[in-house]
Chains A and B, each alone.
Chain A
Amino acid sequence: MKIFIPLKVIFFIFIFSFQWSSCKQTSLQDLYDEAMELHDEVMPRMGEIADLEKQALQIKFKLEKEEGEEAKQKLDKVKQLLADLDVADKGMWDWMKGFEDPREKDWTPQKKIDYFNIEIEKIRLVNTQIKTSIEDGNTIINNLK
């Protein structure tokens, strides 16, 4: 028995599958853009982290020579700040080193989406850590100067 498929149906199937594949592509592009936006927002601030680290180290060396409870408390604050700045700084470099564009990989579409979702959460955390450590750093250093 011959099955006859009208030309119109074939045309619609073709259009639908084309639209579907474009939709998938756009979705991956959107995920890539979301990750890069989070990265680009804070990457230019890495210089600020370095500046704060430098200032914090100078204050730390000065406080290490001082005695008394007040100096000790200040020293603890500076050490915590240096640790927070280091976490934020390392977080960004590690994320960039580890990030691979899944669009260039021979992975299933779902695996690509899953990978992007994980990486977006990672860079979102780094983004927050960078902004928070800079904000805290400025406050702490201004108070200790």
Chain B
Amino acid sequence: MKYFPVLLLLCIGAMAFWTWIDDDAKGKTLPILGEVEVKESAGHNLKDTVFHSIEDFDLIDQDSNRITKDLVENKIYIADFFFTSCPTICPMVKAQMLRAYEKYEDNDDFVMLSHSIDVRNDSVPALKKYAQKMEINTDKWHLLTGEKFHIYDMAKKYFIAAVEDPSAPGGYTHSGGIALVDRQGRIRGIYDGTEVEEVDLLLTDIDRLLKEK
């Protein structure tokens, strides 16, 4: 009984240490969001788990470069949807996206894709002007335009993981959401780009994903 205070202190110390060490050290990984499909291999008794991932896309960036999934092959990237004339949400999200841009500007494993949903007005020159205004390196942060339905379908694919009822009408294109995508094209997190704390978490999660091989 005389050792009880010592044991109690040791327990409290261990609990405090466990709380203090980061999630990487605990071996925790980010969840994979979206639908999971279990496929049975033909002729074998093996089952394969297939996660929701971003399919190929074909868009144009502010420098008139054709941007496809090849650009993000084996890279971690964040994706959002915006438009240059947006009076409310987009400027808030862009200010937060700039934090990610500044932190990973020199990291070759990381890219940023911002899709414009205003295909009427956000032409390549308009996107170029916007990029120049934000003073961003265009190899790192691609402002994209393309065929209208293709872009709206892309938005659904990125954010479907965060929508509880996929058939419900929602503002998936104008929600201020930022999707974090891993090297295999799987969505690993959805963050509210209008909230500083959410973007703090996004930056931490990007660090964690960059460590994943």
Q: B174: CB under 8 A from chain A?
A: yes
The A interface, classified by DSSP as helix, strand, loop or mixed, is helix
Tell me the bound Cα distance from A43 to B85 in angstroms. 13
B171 adjacent to A47 (CB under 8 Å): yes
Please give the distance in Å from B48's CB to the nearest CB on chain A: 32
Across chains A and B, the number of contacting residue pairs, with CB separation under 8 Å, is: 54
Determine the main DSSP class of B at the interface with A.
loop
Pick the contact of B155 from A47, A90, A96 — CB < 8 Å?
Answer: A47
CA distance A39 to B172 in the complex (A): 16
Pair A96/B85 contact, Cβ less than 8 Å: yes
Q: How many residues does chain A have at the interface if contact means C-beta atoms less than 8 Å apart?
A: 20
Question: Hey, which chain A residues are within 8 Å of B85, CB to CB?
Answer: 93, 96-97, 99
Query: What is the size, in residues, of chain B's interface with A at 8 Å between Cβ atoms?
Result: 21
Contacts of A36 in B (CB 8 A): 87-88
Separation of A46 and B170 alpha carbons in the complex (Å): 9
- Could you say which of B88, B121, B148 contacts A50, with CB atoms under 8 Å apart? B148
Contact partner of A44 (CB less than 8 A), chosen from B83, B121, B156, B170, is: B170
Report if B39 contacts A (CB, 8 A): no
**Contact among A43, A90, A99 for B120, CB-based, below 8 A:** A90
- 8 residue pairs A–B, Cβ–Cβ below 8 Å: A36-B87, A36-B88, A44-B171, A47-B152, A47-B170, A47-B173, A50-B152, A96-B87
A-binding residues in B (CB < 8 A): 83, 85-88, 117-118, 120-121, 148-149, 152, 155-156, 169-175
